[in-house]
Amino acid sequence: MLPRLTFPAIVLLLVGTTAVHAQQRITMSGQYSTVRMSTDTIGTPDGGAMVHFTYGLVSSGDDPGGLFNDGKGNCVGTTVLTEDGTPVAGGGSCFVTDMEGDGWWQWWKLEELGTADCPIMCGTWGSYNGTGKFANVSVSGTFEGAAAYADGSGRGIVNATYERP
């Protein structure tokens, strides 16, 4: 037979272990800038086009001590255009590193553009995984373009929530 203190001790041990392994949920906001490096356009049978591009990314967070405060990366993306040049889909991915060399893989998806709510472009983004301090960190959020330049470069704002062990 177990002593009466055994059950409370087991519960305390389980609760204590759970608290140690709980994920931190943190919100963030920041800015990004992109510089278009190359563009290839491939015609589609219906008269539209697929535009494949590479670009550099620089990002900074609003919280100077935040995990995703400063990053730079190389990215690829594709936008699908109709015959009249209207974008109907788009997405891509980047590998981004911080000043210490730790990095993360992120994806993005174009959701809306050229509307009253989103005059330039808006979408969602998230992370695949990372290295160093970004290992096992999960990110999901939104982006909104603030400026689009004639060469395909741009800048905008991001908002996201991330979880880390």
7-17, pLDDT tens digit by residue? 443 333 333 33
pLDDT band at 6 (very low <50, low <70, confident <90, very high): very low
pLDDT band at 24 (very low <50, low <70, confident <90, very high): confident
What pTM was computed for the model? 0.81
Q: Which residues pair with 157 in a beta bridge?
A: 31, 144
pLDDT at 18 over 60: no
Give pLDDT tens digits for 58-70. 999 998 888 888 8
Q: How far is CA 75 from CA 12, 62, 86, 146, in A?
A: 47, 22, 22, 19
